[in-house]
Each structure stands twice: as C-alpha cells, then as structure tokens.
Chain A
Amino acid sequence: DSGVTQTPKHLITATGQRVTLRCSPRSGDLSVYWYQQSLDQGLQFLIHYYNGEERAKGNILERFSAQQFPDLHSELNLSSLELGDSALYFCASSVHPDRGRETQYFGPGTRLLVL
C-alpha cells in the first residue's frame, strides 16, 4: 500500500458525459501528479500540482482539467468524454518536486470505460 488513495476504482460512463476522479496523496506529500495509461499511448503525464498550484502540464486535453484543494487532495475532471478516453488514470504523490529526482508513489488507479 503506497498510501495514495484514488476513488472510484472503476467508472463506466457514456460518450459526452463528464466524470470526476479523486486522489488523496500520502500524508505530508505536497505534490500530486496525474498520469493516463492506455494500450496505445502507454503511461502519459497529464498534469502536476504542488501545494495547490498548477506546476506543469503534459499531454492533457483541453476537455480535461484538474485542481488541488487546500487539504491537498486533487480531482481530475474529464468532460465531453470520447471512446478514446477509456484508460487507467493514475495519481502519484511526492513530498515536493525536485528536478525529477523525487520518488513518486502511485495510487491503485481509476479504470475509466467510456461506452
């Protein structure tokens, strides 16, 4: 158990809908990262928040957004869902970003299926 929690574990929805994925980082961690894992793209970095502020963006679609709240939990919002958004979404946390050397601890993921 990494100490990172994600809810829900599974999510099935229809095209055009909107969903929210939730992540609680390890106690004491200020950084939260979101990654998408799909068969064709592999593990792709989406977005990074540090202590409530957006730190970096990766391959995140405009239909996707995220935020980190004062209690440090984070939510990833996916809207106007398409079939291709079906994937496993991981959250990871670390104490703070340190030029890529900080160990990131991953949650169990949320498996999203868009029908």
Chain B
Amino acid sequence: AQSVTQPDIHITVSEGASLELRCNYSYGATPYLFWYVQSPGQGLQLLLKYFSGDTLVQGIKGFEAEFKRSQSSFNLRKPSVHWSDAAEYFCAVGAGSQGNLIFGKGTKLSVKP
C-alpha cells in the first residue's frame, strides 16, 4: 500500500541553522512527491514538487528537496532557517489513478531565536 512516513514529529532548530526534514515513501511506481507547509490557522501551501528529471528540486522560500530512489526518500532542506519558517511541514505522494494525495503525519518545526 502507498504510504508516507515522516519520522520526526517535532524538530527545533536555531534561527540561521540549517534544516533537514525527513520523508520516506512507499509506492510501487514512479512517485510524484510534494512538500506542503501549514502555518497556524492556515491552509496548506505548496513548497515544491518532484515528478521526474533532476532529483534536486528547488522550491519557494529557499527550500529544496532531493529525491533518492534507492532510499525511497524525499528530504526537505533549507540552508538557513528564519523565524517565519516555524510551521508544520507535510510530505505527500500522488496516489496515481485516484488523483488524491497521501500525506505523512507532518513534522512541526519550531525556531529558536
């Protein structure tokens, strides 16, 4: 069955430090992968997506993610975190013919001043 695992429920980093949020997926075919961010009281905003081609994808707000097929991973990174990045981050995989997204449980990011 298709699934997405985000191993870290909550991560705290200092402002200016680098960030990596982990995502592992289980999917039989070529995965279509997404990262969304949810700020408190807000909807989900797309950060970036991977369909094919270059395995390092750039997104908005300075985020990037790397697709590693051998590790079934799609980790999200940012070289220098800003206080405004504090939010919850969701990794998702496109569920093929149904068209819907399958989400991980999310990782809550806190940023220390």
A43–B91 Cα gap in the complex (Å)?
11
Residues of B whose CB lies within 8 Å of any CB of A are: 32, 34, 36, 42-46, 49, 51, 90, 93-106
Chain A residues within 8 Å of B95, by CB: 45, 100
Contact A98 B46 (CB under 8 A): no
Chain A residues within 8 Å of B106, by CB: 42-43
Give per-residue flags for A82-115: 1 if the beta carbon is below 8 A from chain B beta carbons, else 0: 0000000010101001111111111111000000
Residues of A whose CB lies within 8 Å of any CB of B are: 2, 4, 31, 33, 35, 42-43, 45, 48, 50, 55-56, 58, 90, 92, 94, 97-109
Contact B42 A108 (CB under 8 A): yes
A58–B34 Cα gap in the complex (Å)?
19
Of B32, B36, B46, B103, the residue contacting A100 (CB under 8 A) is B32
A15–B46 Cα gap in the complex (Å)?
35
Contact B100 A100 (CB under 8 A): yes
Contact B99 A42 (CB under 8 A): no
Of B36, B94, B98, B99, the residue contacting A106 (CB under 8 A) is B36
B109 to chain A, nearest CB (A): 16
Chain A residues within 8 Å of B44, by CB: 90, 92, 106
A98–B96 Cα gap in the complex (Å)?
8
Which 8 A/B pairs are nearest by Cβ-Cβ distance?
A100-B94, A97-B99, A56-B98, A43-B103, A45-B100, A101-B32, A106-B44, A106-B43
Chain B residues within 8 Å of A94, by CB: 99
